Structure 1
Amino acid sequence: MLQRLQQMTLGLGAREEAERQEHDKMPKPPLKVSIIGSGNWGCTAGILVAENCAEKPKLFKEEVLMWVHEEEVEGRKLTEIMNTDHENVKYLPGVKLPKNIVAESDLATACKGADVLIFVVPHQFLEGLLPTIKENMAKNAIAISLIKGIDFDESGIVLVSDVIRKGLGIEVSALMGANVASEIADGDFAEATIGGPAGHARVLQEVFHRPKFHVTTVRDSDAVELCGALKNIVALGAGFCDGLGYGNNAKAAIIRIGLLEIGRFIELRSGEFPTEILLQSCGAADLITTCYGGRNRKCAEAFVAGSKNWEEIEADLLGGQKLQGTLTCAEVFKVLAAEFPKGNADDHFPLFCNIHRIAFEGAKPETIFDGLSKSEKMLEEPGVPLARSML
C-alpha cells in the first residue's frame, strides 16, 4: 500500500510539473482570438466566443476576427454584409452576430497575432490554410478544433487535430458535443466537452462557457475527437431505421450498440475503453442528438426511401454541406479490415459492418440488426477484459 501511495505521489508530482511547464509556455492575457471559418456552426460558436471576449477584458481582447471564404450574396460581399448588418445571411440567417465579430476575407489578416485559434472549417480545406496561419499567428499560440470529421491516409486514421498540430507545430485541443447550431443560436441550453492539456483546456473553457452553453474538460482529446466523428456512422444506422419505418425502440438499440462500438474503436487505438468520455456530451449526448436530428440521419433515411445514390442525396438535401458519415464509414471499415485480417470484424463491430454493407455493398436495409448479439456474448465470459476479448 505504501509503495502504491508513493507511486501515486510521484505521478501527481510529474503531472504538476508538466502543467507548470505548460503554463509557462502559454500566451499571456489579454489574448487575441481568431476564428477560422464562418459557416453555420462557425458563426454560432463565434457568438459564444465574442460574448465572452467582450465580458472578460482581463483575459481576452474584445475584437474577434473571423476568417470568411468570400462570396457574393445578392450582389454584396458576404464580409460586407456581416460587418454592416451583423448577420451571416447565407449560413445563419435571422441571427444577429455580436458587433465585436469582424469578418475578414484575407486569411493572413484574420489570424495576425492570434493567441487562440478556433478551427471550424470543412476538414478537406484545412491543409491549404495552415502555412499562412503559421506565418501570422502569435508565438505560443494555442488551437482548438470544432471540426467533426476525421481524415485517413495509407496508415489509417488521421485526426483533424493531428493535421493542425503538424501544420502549425503547436498543441491542439478539441471541442465536441450535442451542438445543433441553430438551437444554440436561438439561445437553447446545450453542453460541450473540451479535450486537451489541462492548462489549455481551462483557458478554452473561459473562451466558450456561457450561462446556456456549459463546457466540461477532459484530458483525452483524441477520444473526444473520435466520438465526434464516429457518431456519424451510427447516425446512418438510425436513418436506415427511420427509412424503414421502425420506431423508437429500434433506434434506441442502434444508439446503445453504436455507443459501445464507438468505445471499442477508441479502445483499439488507445488500449483503454473510454467510459468517462462516452458519458460526456461529446459521447452519448452528441450521439443521441445526431441520431434524431443530424444530416447523416436525414440522408440515410432518404437512401432507404428512394433510389438515389449518396452523391445525389447530398446535392438534394444538404445545400452545399458535406455528408461525413459515409466517408467515415468507408474508411473505418478499411481500418477494421486491416485490424481483423481473418474477417472477424463482425464479431466485435457488427453494427459498423452492417451499416457499411447497406451503404456500399447493396445489402438490404432490413439487415441492420443481423448479428448484433454476437459482440454481446463476448461480455458474458467472466474475467475477460474487453480489450483482450477483441484480439
Structure 2
Amino acid sequence: MSLRSWTHSVYPKFVGSAIAKIIGNNVQKQPDVFARTVKMYMYEEMVDGRKLTEIVNTDHENVKYLPGIKLPENVVAIPDVKEACTGADMLVFVLPHQFVKKVCEQMKGNIKPGAVAISMIKGFDISGGGIQLISNIIAKELGTECAVLMGANLAKEVAEEEFCETTIGSKTDSTGQLFKDLVEAPYFRVAVVKDADTVEMCGALKNVVAIGAGIVDGIKQGDNTKAAVIRLGLMEMIKFGEEFFPGSKRNTFFESCGIADLVATCHGGRNRMLGAAVVESDKSIKVLEKEILKGQSFQGPLVAREVYAMLEEKGLCDKFPMFVAVHKICQREMDPKLFISCLRSHPAHL
C-alpha cells in the first residue's frame, strides 16, 4: 500500500491539538500505510512574545489552548494553509464552521488528485439558501470525498487518554476504514456507519441542547430537569432529521455521535458553560466568548441561529420549542427563567 501523507487543516485549539496527538502517534505505528510527518495548519498567534507555531514546533505543546499535553515531534505546525495541504493524501478539518469556505478557497489548486477528507466540524451553513452540511461544502469546494467524525469526545479528556468512543460517518467503506486506521487508539474507539448526514447533524444540534442544559444549571435546577432537557432535546434532534434529512436512521442517534455526545456535552462541554453564563450575566455572547474562551467561538449560538432561520422559513417553530427558546435566550429576546415553561409545554413524545 502506498504511503499517505496527511494534513490536519485546522485552527488547532482544543480539539485540533487533541486529535493531532492521536494521529501523530498512529502514523508512526503504521509506517507501511502512512507517511511519518503530520502537517498541521495553525492560525498564527503571538504568545508571550513568541509565535505559537514556533512554540509547537520546538516545545511540542500548544501552550495556549491545550497546556500540559505534549504533542508528538512529527506534528509540524505550519501557518500557511496552502503549504500545509500541498501533497497531502488525507485532509482533516477541525475549525469553526463559519471559516470553512474561506479556508477552502485558499486551499484550491493545491489539493492532490484522489485526496480524501474528514470533517470534525459541528455546524450548518445556510448562507446560500437552504441547509448545507459542512462536509458537503468541503467536498464541493475541493472536489474530494469527505467523511465526518463526531462523538462524545471532550478534547481535554481525549488528550489525557481517558477512554471514549466516536463515530465516523462515511458513504464508502474504504474511506471509513482508512480514517478509522488513522485515528483509532486503545482509548479512542471508533465505529463506522454509512449514515454520514445524520452523524454530522447530531454533532451540530447537540450544542444547541447543551446550552439548554447550561441554562438549567444557571437557574439552579437539578439533575432531573437536566435529564428532561437531554431527552426532549434528543426528540427534537430526531424530528429535525426527519424534516430536513429524509432517510436518516434512528439507530444512528444511539451511536456515540448521538446520545453519548449529547450527554457528555450537556454535562461537561463549553456550550453548557455558556448556557449557565447567560443566566448569571447580562453580557452579550461576544463578550462572554472573550471572557470564557480566550477569543474562541461558542458554536451553539451560531447553530441555534441557523436552525431557527430554517424552522421559521418552513413554519416549524412550534414543533421545536427548545431549539427556538435557546436561540431567543442567546439573542437576549427571552428571559432564561422562562426556559422551564418551554419544557412544561413540550410534547412528551415524538
**TM-score > 0.5 by shorter chain:** yes
- Structure 1 residue 377, shift from structure 2 partner: 6.0
- Structure 1 residue 358, shift from structure 2 partner: 3.0
Instruction: Name the counterpart of 1:336.
Output: 311
Report 1 or 2 for greater relative contact order, CA contacts < 8 Å, sequence distance ≥ 6: 2
Question: Is contact 1:351–1:369 with CA below 8 Å preserved after alignment?
Answer: no
| 1:122-180 alpha-carbon deviations (Å, 9 max, x no partner) | 22222222234232222100000111222222522222112211110111111011111
- Structure 1 residue 56, shift from structure 2 partner: 0.4
In the alignment, is residue 307 of structure 1 matched against residue 272 of structure 2? no
Question: Is contact 1:174–1:196 with CA below 8 Å preserved after alignment?
Answer: yes
Q: How has the CA–CA distance of structure 1 residues 357 and 102 changed in structure 2, closer, same or farther, with 3 Å as cutoff?
A: closer
Distance in 1, matches of 2:282 and 2:194, equals: 44
Other structure's SS at 2:126 match: strand
Distance in 2, matches of 1:356 and 1:121, equals: 22
Instruction: Name the counterpart of 1:350.
Output: 321
Distance in 2, matches of 1:373 and 1:300, equals: 19
Instruction: Name the counterpart of 1:187.
Output: 161
Instruction: Name the counterpart of 2:136.
Output: 162
In the alignment, is residue 33 of structure 1 matched against residue 3 of structure 2? no
Instruction: Name the counterpart of 1:239.
Output: 214
Q: How has the CA–CA distance of structure 1 residues 107 and 378 changed in structure 2, closer, same or farther, with 3 Å as cutoff?
A: closer
Instruction: Name the counterpart of 1:48.
Output: 22
Q: How has the CA–CA distance of structure 1 residues 30 and 252 changed in structure 2, closer, same or farther, with 3 Å as cutoff?
A: same
| Letter of the structure 2 residue corresponding to residue 92 of structure 1 | L
- Structure 1 residue 201, shift from structure 2 partner: 0.5
Question: Is contact 1:175–1:224 with CA below 8 Å preserved after alignment?
Answer: yes
Distance in 2, matches of 1:181 and 1:100, equals: 20
Question: Is contact 2:6–2:89 with CA below 8 Å preserved after alignment?
Answer: yes
Distance in 2, matches of 1:107 and 1:272, equals: 36
In the alignment, is residue 326 of structure 1 matched against residue 298 of structure 2? no
| Letter of the structure 2 residue corresponding to residue 247 of structure 1 | G
Instruction: Name the counterpart of 1:367.
Output: 338
5+ residue gaps in structure 1?
Answer: 1-27, 380-391
Identity %: 42
Other structure's SS at 2:212 match: helix
Instruction: Name the counterpart of 1:125.
Output: 99
Distance in 2, matches of 1:334 and 1:319, equals: 28
Other structure's SS at 1:367 match: helix
- Structure 1 residue 274, shift from structure 2 partner: 2.9
Instruction: Name the counterpart of 1:215.
Output: 190
| Letter of the structure 2 residue corresponding to residue 30 of structure 1 | L
| 1:60-100 alpha-carbon deviations (Å, 9 max, x no partner) | 11111111112222222222211111111112111111111
| Letter of the structure 2 residue corresponding to residue 224 of structure 1 | V
Other structure's SS at 1:320 match: coil
Other structure's SS at 1:191 match: strand
- Structure 1 residue 307, shift from structure 2 partner: 1.9
Q: Which of residues 75, 79, 83 in structure 1 aligns to 2:53? A: 79
Deviates more, 1:253-262 or 1:350-359: 350-359
| Letter of the structure 2 residue corresponding to residue 364 of structure 1 | D
In the alignment, is residue 296 of structure 1 matched against residue 268 of structure 2? no
Question: Is contact 2:198–2:248 with CA below 8 Å preserved after alignment?
Answer: no
Instruction: Name the counterpart of 1:206.
Output: 181
Q: How has the CA–CA distance of structure 1 residues 260 and 273 changed in structure 2, closer, same or farther, with 3 Å as cutoff?
A: farther
- Structure 1 residue 33, shift from structure 2 partner: 1.1
| Letter of the structure 2 residue corresponding to residue 102 of structure 1 | V
- Structure 1 residue 355, shift from structure 2 partner: 2.4
Deviates more, 1:196-205 or 1:155-164: 155-164
Other structure's SS at 2:58 match: helix
| Letter of the structure 1 residue corresponding to residue 326 of structure 2 | I
| Letter of the structure 2 residue corresponding to residue 48 of structure 1 | I
Other structure's SS at 1:135 match: coil
Distance in 2, matches of 1:166 and 1:254, equals: 36
Q: How has the CA–CA distance of structure 1 residues 273 and 374 changed in structure 2, closer, same or farther, with 3 Å as cutoff?
A: farther
Question: Is contact 2:111–2:142 with CA below 8 Å preserved after alignment?
Answer: no
Distance in 1, matches of 2:126 and 2:42, equals: 26
Question: Is contact 1:32–1:113 with CA below 8 Å preserved after alignment?
Answer: yes
- Structure 1 residue 373, shift from structure 2 partner: 6.4
Other structure's SS at 2:327 match: helix
- Structure 1 residue 101, shift from structure 2 partner: 0.8
- What is the alpha-carbon root mean square deviation over aligned residues? 1.8
Q: How many residues align?
A: 348
Q: How has the CA–CA distance of structure 1 residues 100 and 326 changed in structure 2, closer, same or farther, with 3 Å as cutoff?
A: same
Distance in 1, matches of 2:331 and 2:100, equals: 27
Report the TM-score, using the length of structure 2 for normalisation.
0.94
| Letter of the structure 1 residue corresponding to residue 39 of structure 2 | L
| 1:246-280 alpha-carbon deviations (Å, 9 max, x no partner) | 00000000001101111110111222353111101
Distance in 2, matches of 1:377 and 1:118, equals: 39
5+ residue gaps in structure 2?
Answer: none
